[in-house]
Structure 1
Amino acid sequence: MSEEQTVRNPRGLLISLCAVMMMSVMNGTMFNIAVPDIAKTYQLMPSEVSWVMTGYIMVYAVGALTYGKLADYYPYRTLITFGLTVFAVGSLFGFFSQNYAMVLMARVIQALGGAMIPALVFLAPIRYFPNERGKVLGIVSSVMAFASGIGPIAGGFIAGFLDWRYLFLTSALIIVTLPFLRKNLPQEEAKKGYIDYVGAGLIGGFISTLLLAITLGVTWLFAVSTLFFALNLWRMKAIDEPFIPPHLFKDVKYTATIVTSFLGVVCLFGMMFMLPIMFRDAYQMDTMTIGLILFPGAVSAALMGQKGGNLVDSKGNTFVLYLALTLLITGFTVLSTLVGAHPYVLSAAIIISYMSFPLVQASSADILANLLHKNETGVGMGVFNLLNFVSGALSGAVIGKALDLYDPFQPINVLGFNGNTAIYSNVFLVFAVIIAVGLIQFRLNYNKTRKPAAQEEPASL
C-alpha cells in the first residue's frame, strides 16, 4: 500500500494544510504593520522594537530546520500537535501581555511552535501525495505567497480598528485547524534513530548569531557566527550521524537547487520588504492603500500556484524552475524601468514577479524531493526552509542599509525615471542580475553527472 492511500481524506488534509499555512504566514506579515504601534505603546526606539521581528525570525529559522530533522523520526501528528499548541499558548500570552518583555516572550513562544508549520507543510505533499506532489506543492506555495500579500492588509485593518494586541488573538485561532489535521493525518509509529543535539545547538548558535549580526549590524557577532560555523564543520566530520549529513552538500544537484532557490527567495522577499517602503516614501501612501496596490500581485500568486503545480507534474520540475527564473528576470527588469510611473501601472507590473513566487517554491521543493533519500527528506527539506527564512532577514537588512546610505537621482537603467525612485529602480535591476546568476549556475551545475544513488546513501542506513 502506498503512503498516499494511508490518508483517509486527502482533500481534507490538503485544505487543513493550506489553512494552517495561511494563518502562519499571515502571523508574520501582520506584525510588520504593528511594529510602529508597539513602539508607541511602550515608548521604544526602532532598534528596541525591531526585536519583535528579529527574535521571531531567529527562533523560527532554527526551529524550521529542527522540526524537519525530527520529522524523519517522529509522527507528524505528534509534532503538529505540539507545535500548534505551543503557538496558540504564545499567542494568548501575547494578547494578555502587560509590558514589552512579555510581548517579546510571546513572540519567541509563537516561533517555537510555529516553526513546525513550514517544515511539515512542505514535507506532507512528499509523503502523502506522491502522485500529485507537484500540484500540491504548487497549491501550498501559492497559499504562502497569497498570505504574504494580504497579511499587511489584515494587520492594518485589525490594528487600526481594534488594537495591535488583537493580532495575537487572531493568531491564536490557528488552533482550530488541529482537530482537522489530526483527523486526516495517518497514525504512524516513531522510528528509532540518533539525533545529534550538540550539532543542533551549534547550528542554532551559528544561525542565531548570523541573523543578529545581519539585522543589528554588529561586527563582532560575525566573528562569533564564524566560530559556530567552524565548530559545526568539525562536528559534522567528528561523528557518524551529525545533525546535517555532510554528504547532502556533496550532491551537486542538491547544492545547485538550494543555491538557486535561495537567490530567488532573497530577491522575492526583498521585493516584498521594499515595496511598502517605496510606496510610503516615494508615493506618500497610507498602509491600507499600499495593501490594495499590492493585492493584485498576491491574487496572481494564488492563482498561479495550482497551475504551476500542474506544470511541475506534466512538464517537469526543472522546466518550471527555468520558467519561474525567466519570469523573475523579466518582472524585475520591468519594475526597474517603470518605478516612478503611476501606482496602478506598478500594481500591474508587480504581478509578473509575484506570480513567480509559488513557481520557484514548488519546483525547487519537487526537485529536492526527487534527490533526497527517503530517510533524509526531513533534514534535507529543513535546510531548504532554513535558507528561506535566512534569505528574508538577509534581504531586509541589506536593502534597509542600501536605502539609508544610497540616494541617487538618476537610475542605472537608462529607461528608468529620474528622481526619488531611482534607488528602487537600481535595486530591482540588481535583483534581475542576481536571478540571472542563479539561473546560469543552476544550468551549469544541475546538468553535471551525478553519482549513483547507492554511493550517496549514508553507511548507517
Structure 2
Amino acid sequence: MKMKGEGNKMNNPQIKNPKALLFSLCFVLMFSVMNGTMFNIAIPDIAEAFSLLPSEVSWVMTGYIMIYAVGALVYGKLTDTIALKTLITFGLIVFSLGSLIGFIAPNYGFVLMARVIQAIGGSMIPAIAFIAPIRYFPNERGKILGIISSVMAFASGIGPILGGVIGGFLSWQYLFLTSAFIIITLPFLRANLPDEKTKYVKLDYIGGSLVASLIVLSLMGITLGQSWTLFIVMILAILVVFRMKKAKDPFIPPHLFKNSNYVVTLLVSFISVACLFGLMFSVPIMLRDVYELSTLQIGLAMFPGAMSAALIGRKGGQLVDQKGSRMIFLVSLLLLLTGFLVVSTTVGTHPVIFSLSLVFPMMCFPLVQSSGADLLAGILSQKETGVGMGVFNLLNFVSGALSGALVGKVLDIYRPDYPLNPLGVIDSGAVYSNVFIVFMVLILVGFIVFKFFHHSPLQTKTESP
C-alpha cells in the first residue's frame, strides 16, 4: 500500500482563488444533490398531472439514478485525461438545458427526456467534487473532503423541505427551473479552475459499454424488482471481468481490485452509505405513517439532522488530516452504530424527540464520506485517482438504490407487533425500529471487517481505533 498521499504527488497547478473555487464546488454540489431529493416530493404531483400509474411515474427517479450512476463512473474515468474545466463546462450546460426542457415539458415523455439530460450533465458534479480536493488541495485533503461531504448531507436534508415549499406554493415544473440556476456557478468555476492540458488517450469503449449495461440492468433489477435481469447481469459481469483482463487499456484496471485495502474500504463504505441512504428513505415514510406529518413537517423534522451534518463536516475533515483517515473512519462507524440504536429506540416517542435523535446518525454522513474518500485517495496512484474514485461514487449510488428497494419491500410485507429493540416503543412503528436495528448490525459487521482486514504500514497490530 502506498503511503498517504504518495500516489497523488504531482505538480499541482496554481489556483487563483482557492476559497472561491471551494465555495463554487460546494454550491454546485448542493444544487445537484437537492435536484434528486426535491423530485422525491414531486412524484405524486407529476403522476396526477399526467394521469400516471406508480410504476410509470417511478421512472422520473429510476431513469435519473441509472444514468447518474453510469455517468459518475464515466466522468471519473475522463478526469484522468480531460481538463476539469472542460468537463464541468460541458456538464453544467447539459444539466441546465435538461432543466429548462423539464420546465416547459408539454407531456410526460419530455419530462423523462429532461431528467435523462439532467443526469447526463449532473453526474459530472460528484466526480469532480471528489477529484478536485485530491488534485488541488493535497495538504488539506481531509478538511476539504469533509466540507464537500457535509454539503452533500445538508443538501439531502434540505432538499425535501425546498421541494415541498416550491411544489406547494408554485408547482412541480418550478423544481426544474430552480435546478437550472446551477448555471450561475459556471463563470466562477471557470475563473478559478486552473488551465490544464487534455491528454488524448484511446478509451476502452467496449469495456465502458459493458460496464454501463451492467450498471443499468442491475439498477433496473434492484429498483423495479425485475428478476429477469439477474441472468443477463450475471452474463454481463462475466464479460466485464473478461474484458478487464484482456483489454490493453481496460476501462476499469483489474489491478485496482487486487489491493485488499481498496476493496475493503469500498465494501465497508458501500455498507455504511447503504444504511445512511436507507435511513433517509425510510424516515419520511415513517413520519407520515406513524406521526401523520405533512410534507413540510417531515422536512422540518429532518432539518436538525441535516444541520448537524453540515456543522460537523468541516471539523470532521480537519480531524481526518490531524488523526488520520483510518482512525476517523473507525470512530465514525462506532458513532453511526450508536446513532442507529438511538433512532431505533426513539421510534414512536414524541416527534420532537425522534427528530433530535436523527442528529446522531446523520452527523456521521460527512465523517464516513470524507474519511472513506481520503482513505481511497491515499491508496490510489495519480493516474488511478479518477477511475478509482469513479468506482467509489458509482457504488454510492448503487447502494442508495439497493437500500431503498430492499427497505421498501420490507415495509410492504413485514409488520411486526413488537420491536427487536427491548428499549423500543411497542406500537405501529415496530417495523421501522427493527429496520434501524438491522442497519446497526450491518454497521457492526462493517466495523469488524474494516478493523481486521484493512491494514496500514504506519500502524501496529496492537494499535486501537
* Contact 1:3-1:127 within 8 A present in 2 as well: no
Partner of 1:455: none
Partner of 1:249: 257
Letter of the 1:311 counterpart: L
Partner of 2:146: 138
Partner of 2:33: 25
Letter of the 2:114 counterpart: A
Partner of 1:207: 215
Letter of the 1:115 counterpart: S
Letter of the 2:328 counterpart: V
Partner of 1:314: 322
Deviates more, 1:215-224 or 1:148-157: 215-224
Q: Residue 419 of structure 1: CA displacement?
A: 1.7
Q: Residue 2 of structure 1: CA displacement?
A: 6.5
Q: Residue 5 of structure 1: CA displacement?
A: 5.6
Matches within 5 A, 1:80-99: 80-99=88-107
Q: Distance in 1 between matches of 2:303 and 2:258?
A: 41
Q: Distance in 1 between matches of 2:134 and 2:456?
A: 25
Q: Residue 192 of structure 1: CA displacement?
A: 3.6
Q: Deviations over 1:17-75 (max 9, x none)?
A: 00000000000000000000000001111111000000000000000000000000000
Q: Residue 4 of structure 1: CA displacement?
A: 4.9
Secondary structure at 2:80 match in 1: coil
Partner of 2:23: 15
Any stretches of 5+ residues in structure 1 without a counterpart? 451-461
Partner of 2:159: 151
* Contact 1:137-1:366 within 8 A present in 2 as well: yes
Secondary structure at 1:194 match in 2: coil
- Which of the numbers 228, 246, 258 marks the counterpart of 2:236? 228
Partner of 1:188: 196
Deviating above 4 A after TM superposition, structure 1's stretches of 4 or more consecutive aligned residues are 1-5
Partner of 1:411: 419
- Which of the numbers 162, 170, 179 marks the counterpart of 1:171? 179
Q: Deviations over 1:143-176 (max 9, x none)?
A: 0000000000000000100010000000000000
- Which of the numbers 350, 354, 362 marks the counterpart of 1:346? 354
Q: Residue 335 of structure 1: CA displacement?
A: 1.1
**Would you say 1:325 and 2:338 are equivalent positions?**
no
Secondary structure at 1:301 match in 2: helix
* Contact 2:13-2:194 within 8 A present in 1 as well: no
**Would you say 1:364 and 2:375 are equivalent positions?**
no
- Which of the numbers 79, 86, 90 marks the counterpart of 1:71? 79
Q: Deviations over 1:159-203 (max 9, x none)?
A: 100010000000000000000000000000011423111111100
* Contact 2:21-2:189 within 8 A present in 1 as well: yes
Q: Residue 334 of structure 1: CA displacement?
A: 1.1
Q: Residue 319 of structure 1: CA displacement?
A: 1.1
Secondary structure at 1:190 match in 2: coil
- Which of the numbers 262, 284, 308 marks the counterpart of 1:276? 284
- Which of the numbers 44, 57, 61 marks the counterpart of 1:36? 44
Q: Residue 448 of structure 1: CA displacement?
A: 7.2
* Contact 2:10-2:382 within 8 A present in 1 as well: no
**Shift in CA distance, 162/50, structure 1 to aligned 2, threshold 3 Å:** same
Secondary structure at 1:97 match in 2: coil
Q: Deviations over 1:396-439 (max 9, x none)?
A: 00000000000001011111111210000100000000001111
How large is the RMSD of aligned CA atoms in angstroms? Answer: 1.2
Letter of the 2:91 counterpart: G
Letter of the 1:393 counterpart: A
Q: Deviations over 1:273-316 (max 9, x none)?
A: 00000000111000000111110000000000000000001111
Q: Distance in 2 between matches of 1:226 and 1:411?
A: 37
Q: Distance in 1 between matches of 2:159 and 2:272?
A: 21
* Contact 1:3-1:128 within 8 A present in 2 as well: no
Letter of the 1:50 counterpart: S
Q: Residue 230 of structure 1: CA displacement?
A: 1.0
- Which of the numbers 260, 264, 274 marks the counterpart of 2:268? 260
Partner of 1:105: 113
**Would you say 1:128 and 2:117 are equivalent positions?**
no
Percent identity over paired residues:
60
* Contact 1:65-1:379 within 8 A present in 2 as well: yes
* Contact 1:125-1:137 within 8 A present in 2 as well: yes
Q: Distance in 1 between matches of 2:171 and 2:247?
A: 51
* Contact 2:274-2:399 within 8 A present in 1 as well: yes
Any stretches of 5+ residues in structure 2 without a counterpart? 1-8, 459-465
Secondary structure at 2:291 match in 1: coil
How many residue pairs get aligned? The number is 450
Q: Residue 350 of structure 1: CA displacement?
A: 0.6
Q: Distance in 2 between matches of 1:196 and 1:153?
A: 42
